[in-house]
Chains A and B, each alone.
Chain A
């Protein structure tokens, strides 16, 4: 403390006042760091809120269970309950079923219906009806406990009754005793509302948009008599270590025993790659902000060399000088982070909805009802911002501490220290770029492309290190040309670039980073969209699609009722009806969809985009049931590709088949495995349909009128069963898929624009400081006969050359980066690749815009430099 106080005093005198006196340039850096920190923090908080919602829902559903019995792709038989409860290791058993249903107000959105046995479930999960108010109490309800008990007893006694979550209660303005109509593929039913759940435990699942009912009611409503989604087990404390194995031995084929955490981890794993990618993207803004800090502190260290020499001559140690400048970095980090708080609060509100929608669409359903301010996230945000700022300040501080005290005797304005040879920096840069390729060949670690990210930062660093050399080359070769083309000011501007060294190269580095990211993301998003468009056009080519209501949300556990199937089979019309059976299964922790369909009919109207394997050879084998084809995502995430075997236990049916080909498939929620429907039905006896696609005969028949007519026909034959199904026009489905794609990348685009804004801020502040630093030089030129216009032209040409160098290297870096994004990072994060297609139009339009913006940034500097008259500037100090 004794040493800190004088240090802080000297820092205030020497550093803080300098920052305060140059308010606008200080603010530019603070805003840059603040924006970067705000983006980084708000993105992480938004994803964390979604994950928190998911985790809480899963935890609340899992309750205190030690193990869970599941039937992947289907439902577990209820008859297992009596077997399990008799096992000596089992203390308690509770069956549970869940399903998303709609109310008769379809616009209100789905709700989660939970069916449980209120008696068996008591020790597993926390749920408690709220007591009724006194007006609604029956005479024998003399206490609050009695009140609550009567409610769940009524749930058991009376069929088609519900206790609903608070949010739902409010949403539908419900009262006890009121009816709520729920819609399921099996039909519609009116439920009587018994009351509201107290806000704890199960009531917090899905943000409170849940309804609890008795299991028997649930089974009758959903047509799942005799089956449940899961059977939770609580083991005795004295249970042996191999209790789980003993219990597994009791289970029939196709039924598994899993720890509850497995369900949670599977979901979290799916979101993790998305979370990581967004975090890295959001970190880029902070990374670009780091250049701002470096640039300004570096300029301070250079322009105040003489003051540093004075301090050294008065007894300041080099260590003190080092810490003075490092503390400037700490100042930017701390104050920038504080500035990020209001900025981040604003951003997170808008990001939350987008992020949770994207996660719901792509991975797992989440319903965010609270923003969690995790102290560890706050600490991570602060420490990352501080670390980045300190890292940025380290090198200038190190340079500053090397100012020799003897420089105090120099009376003339000291120039910059001898710059490091730019060629050596460029060689280091090329070396780093050269390392990118071997790094990118390394596999990901648990689905995290660490080597890919490292390669990305090496790319940024490598190109930034080339910048000083390029600027020097430009400064040597270009000025004579400029003199011929544009006169002496252009020549002088070019000469300054040659001699300015690393002072300007750092800001150019920031522009390279932002520009590269812009180029790479434009290419990546365009490539991805074009590939998805091709997939959608060729594979999602049905004219009409039909499936049970909420099929996707319910993971295709519900099939089309037999009456619906019969009705559709009886349709008299010229079209192809292509049914499919789809199930959501797990391979380890990787979720995927197993789908069977009639490939002969399918391939008349659609194409599959093969990545590996010859369609002509593979498809006949597929139809004969000689193997499966898998999506690229499945192959990359599980390692099961051509030459390997696909194994799965689906109910009583065991599949063990070779992989014949790998296709592109961009459906959400994991990969897909295709098999022949005919073969699957023969093997399993499962002839149910998960859904149907309709194709009119011939493309020319698929007019809008014809498709609408088809839809009307389908609705007519379904009659009252139409309430339990979703019918989507093929055109609408394709548009929806592309809309989801565009919304997913909206966040990416916003993050990119912020990074560009930060880089532009950096260029503005650097150009301003560089110009102000040479005020004396410019006024000397004035004194020698130069005009203000000529000096402005000089500044303009300097800015133009800097920005041109940054944009050129940025463009080149961006192309390299786009390859990394498409073929390494996306593949290792999500399992997919896409066709590499460059959209030149946005690049051609945006590049001059970026140039123009940066040049505008030079304007303030060229005004400020003439604020004082030459006589004042040039007088001897």
Chain B
């Protein structure tokens, strides 16, 4: 595991997540250690059940570790209260999902504005920022459309804009191209690459696809909840 000079953005020590299902247990993440520095683009690879989504869920503050430490942007996620995790999700991370997860009753502009409004920011500024992001993503003609009126690629670009609205330190993408055709998939990966290169945003992508390999600074392979491979490409 490579060392970094500054304090890493993400530090994990003996990170473990165990799910209790009925009378049995399933180990989602099995005591892994890793660091991620700022401005990295990390790709998590592995088959279904390898623990990619579980790890992403922990990093996103959607779930909490069972054992071990996970410190992201100086916040100890294992000891965080539900309120602190909510705050974390608002300010530190932005998530992009495989199935886009746009709210069906909100327009494109409203979907993108939502995280900022939840964070208590003032609407005029939020709307302006949202429109700027959507313009960058070539979605201006779709501002007032509902998700049902968008194509897959447009929905994912909207989701990316939503993930960026609060200027998070980290973007987490869980199979962002899983529901897209190859062309759109390529476009989305390029976008994520641009975010990392040009804006300096740390990006972590969980994916089966090889599309992310060219833009990755680090590739981590997982199997059965453990890290089997760690490749620095930068």
Give the nearest-CB partner of A15 in chain B.
Answer: B105
CA of A405 to CA of B97, assembled, Å: 13
Q: B106: CB under 8 A from chain A? A: yes
Within 8 A of A (CB), among B93-119: 95, 97-99, 101-106, 110, 114-115, 117-119
Complex: how many Å from CA A341 to CA B178? 54
CB closest chain-A residue, reference B95: A313
User: Shortest beta-carbon distance, A451 to chain B, in Å?
Assistant: 43
Is A441 part of the contact surface with B, judged by Cβ < 8 Å? no
Judge whether B90 is part of the interface by a CB distance below 8 angstroms: yes
B117 near A408 with CB under 8 A, answer no
CB pair A409 B97 closer than 8 Å: yes
Question: Would B118 and A320 count as touching, CB distance under 8 A?
Answer: yes
B104 and A317 within 8 A (CB): no
* A-contact 0/1 string along B39-82, CB 8 Å cutoff: 00000000000000100110011110000000000000000001
Complex alpha-carbon distance, A157 and B62, angstroms: 96
Residue B125 is within 8 A (CB to CB) of chain A in the complex:
no
A700 CB within 8 Å of chain B = no
Q: How far is the CB of A19 from chain B (nearest CB, A)?
A: 10
Q: Chain A residues near B221 (CB, 8 Å)?
A: none
Contact A408 B101 (CB under 8 A): yes
Beta-carbon contact of A9 and B57 below 8 Å: no
Q: Which B residue's beta carbon lies closest to that of A315?
A: B90
Known: A313-B95, A408-B97, A876-B179. A307 touches B117 (CB 8 A): no
Cβ-defined contact, B119 with A315, below 8 A:
yes
Partner among B95, B103, B120 whose Cβ is within 8 Å of the Cβ of A13: B103
| CB contact under 8 A between A315 and B86, given known A9-B117, A10-B114, A307-B104 | yes
Q: What total of A-B pairs shows CB separation below 8 Å?
A: 87
Find chain B residues with CB under 8 A from A10 CB. Answer: 114, 117-118
Task: Give the most central of B63, B98, B114: most A CB within 10 Å.
Answer: B114
Chain B residue contacts of A313, Cβ below 8 A? 60, 62, 89, 95, 101
Which of B82, B86, B166: most chain A Cβ within 10 A? B86
Instruction: Please tell me if A314 contacts chain B, counting CB pairs below 8 Å.
Output: yes
Tell me, in angstroms, the Cα distance from A636 to B71 when the chains sit together. Answer: 75
- Cβ of B83 under 8 Å from chain A: yes
State which residues 1-38 of A face B: CB under 8 Å.
Answer: 3, 5-6, 9-10, 13-14, 17-18, 21
- B174-191: CB near A (< 8 Å → 1, else 0) gives 100001000000000000
Q: Which residues of A contact B110 (CB under 8 A)?
A: 13
Cα A344 to Cα B162 in complex, Å, equals 47
CB distance A14 to B62 under 8 Å? Answer: no
Residue of B with least CB distance to A5: B123
- Is A216 at the interface (CB under 8 A from chain B)? no
Query: Which residues 295-347 of A have a CB within 8 angstroms of B?
Result: 306-307, 310-318, 320
Distance to closest chain A CB from B144 (angstroms): 13
Q: Smallest Cβ distance from A387 to chain B, in angstroms?
A: 28
A6 & B117 in contact (Cβ 8 Å cutoff): yes
Contacts A9-B117, A10-B117; A877 near B62 (Cβ below 8 A)? no
CA distance A14 to B86 in the complex (A): 19
Output the least CB separation between A607 and chain B (Å): 72
Given the complex, which residues of B lie within 8 Å of A21, measured CB to CB? 105
A406 contacts the other chain (CB 8 A): yes
CA distance A306 to B100 in the complex (A): 12
Asked if A107 is an interface residue, CB under 8 A from chain B, the answer is no
The answer to whether the Cβ of A411 comes within 8 Å of any Cβ in the partner chain is yes
Chain A residues in 8 Å Cβ range of B95: 313-314, 408
CB distance from B54 to the nearest CB of A (A): 9
* Chain B hits for A405, CB < 8 A: 61-63, 89
Asked whether A317 lies within 8 Å of B83 as measured between CB atoms, the reply is yes
- Known contacts A17-B105, A406-B63; is A315 also within 8 Å of B89 by CB? yes
Q: How many residues of B contact A (CB 8 A)?
A: 36
- Tell whether, in the assembled complex, residue B57 and residue A314 are in contact, meaning their CB atoms are under 8 Å apart: no
User: With A and B bound together, what is the CA distance between A14 and B111 in angstroms?
Assistant: 11
How distant is A10 from chain B, measured CB to nearest CB, in Å? 6
Closest residue on chain B to residue A20 by CB atoms:
B105
Asked if B83 and A14 sit within 8 Å, CB to CB, the answer is no
Inter-chain contact B120/A314, CB cutoff 8 Å:
no
A409-B53, A409-B57 in contact; A315/B105 too (CB < 8 A)? no
Given contacts A317-B83, A406-B57, contact A14 B105 (CB under 8 A): yes
The answer to whether A317 and B120 touch across the interface, beta carbons within 8 angstroms, is no
Q: Which residues of A contact B117 (CB under 8 A)?
A: 6, 9-10
Q: Which residues of A contact B162 (CB under 8 A)?
A: 314
Tell which of A6, A314, A409, A876 has the most Cβ of chain B within 10 Å.
Answer: A314
Q: How far is the CA of A217 from the CA of B99 in the complex (A)?
A: 95
Task: Please name all residues of chain B whose beta carbon is closer than 8 Å to the beta carbon of A18 when the two chains form the complex.
Answer: 105
How far is B220's CA from A95's CA once the two chains are assembled, in angstroms?
105
Chain B nearest CB, measured from A544 CB (Å):
76
Give the docked Cα–Cα distance between A320 and B162 (Å): 19
Q: Is B103 touching A311 in the complex (CB atoms < 8 A)?
A: yes
Chain B, Cβ-Cβ closest to A318: B82
**A:429-464 near B, CB below 8 Å:** none
- A13 neighbours in B (Cβ, 8 Å): 103, 105-106, 110, 114
Give the docked Cα–Cα distance between A317 and B102 (Å).
18
Q: In the complex the two chains form, what is the Cα distance from A405 to B166 in whole Å?
A: 19
B78 to chain A, nearest CB (A): 15
CA distance A9 to B106 in the complex (A): 11
Cβ of B97: which chain A residues have Cβ within 8 Å of it?
408-409
* B118 touching A314, Cβ below 8 Å: yes
Contacts of B102 in A (CB 8 A): 310
Minimum C-beta distance from A122 to chain B (A)? 70
Q: Which residues of B contact A312 (CB under 8 A)?
A: 62, 86, 89
List, in ascending order, chain A residues with CB within 8 A of B61's CB.
Answer: 405
Assess whether B179 is in contact with A14, with CB atoms less than 8 Å apart: no
Residues of A with C-beta under 8 A to B63? 404-406
CB <8 Å contact, A314 and B99: no
Candidates A310, A315, A406; contact of B103 at CB < 8 Å: A310
Q: Which residues of A contact B119 (CB under 8 A)?
A: 315
C-alpha spacing A408/B123, complex, angstroms: 26
User: Chain A: which residue is nearest B174 at the CB level?
Assistant: A409
Q: Distance (Å) between the CB of A401 and the closest chain B CB?
A: 11
- What residues of B have a CB within 8 angstroms of the CB of A314 in the complex? 89-90, 95, 114-115, 118, 162
Residues on the B chain within 8 Å of A306, using CB: 101
Which A residues are CB-close (under 8 A) to B86? 312, 315-318
Q: Which residues of A contact B105 (CB under 8 A)?
A: 13-14, 17-18, 21
* A405 to B88 CA separation, bound complex (whole angstroms): 13
B174 cross-chain contacts in A, Cβ below 8 A:
409
> Does the CB pair B115–A315 fall under 8 Å?
yes
Q: What is the bound-complex CA distance between A522 and B58, given in angstroms? A: 61
One of B91, B98, B118 near A411 (C-beta < 8 A): B98
Residue picked from B87, B98, B105, B115, most chain A C-beta under 10 Å: B105
| Distance between A555 CB and nearest chain B CB, rounded to angstroms | 67
B-chain residues with CB within 8 Å of residue A5 when the two chains form the complex? 123
Q: Which residues of B contact A6 (CB under 8 A)?
A: 117-118, 120, 123
Using Cβ atoms and an 8 Å threshold, which residues of chain A touch B120? 3, 6
Given contacts A10-B118, A409-B62, 6 further A-B contacts (CB under 8 A): A13-B114, A14-B103, A21-B105, A314-B90, A408-B97, A409-B57
15 CB < 8 A contacts A-B: A9-B117, A13-B105, A17-B105, A21-B105, A307-B104, A313-B95, A314-B115, A314-B118, A315-B87, A315-B115, A320-B118, A404-B62, A408-B101, A409-B56, A409-B62
Q: Which B residues contact A (CB, under 8 angstroms)?
A: 53, 56-57, 60-63, 82-83, 86-87, 89-91, 95, 97-99, 101-106, 110, 114-115, 117-120, 123, 162, 166, 174, 179
Q: Considering the complex of A and B, which 8 residue pairs feature the smallest CB-CB distances, nearest first? A: A315-B90, A17-B105, A406-B62, A405-B62, A315-B118, A406-B63, A314-B115, A310-B101
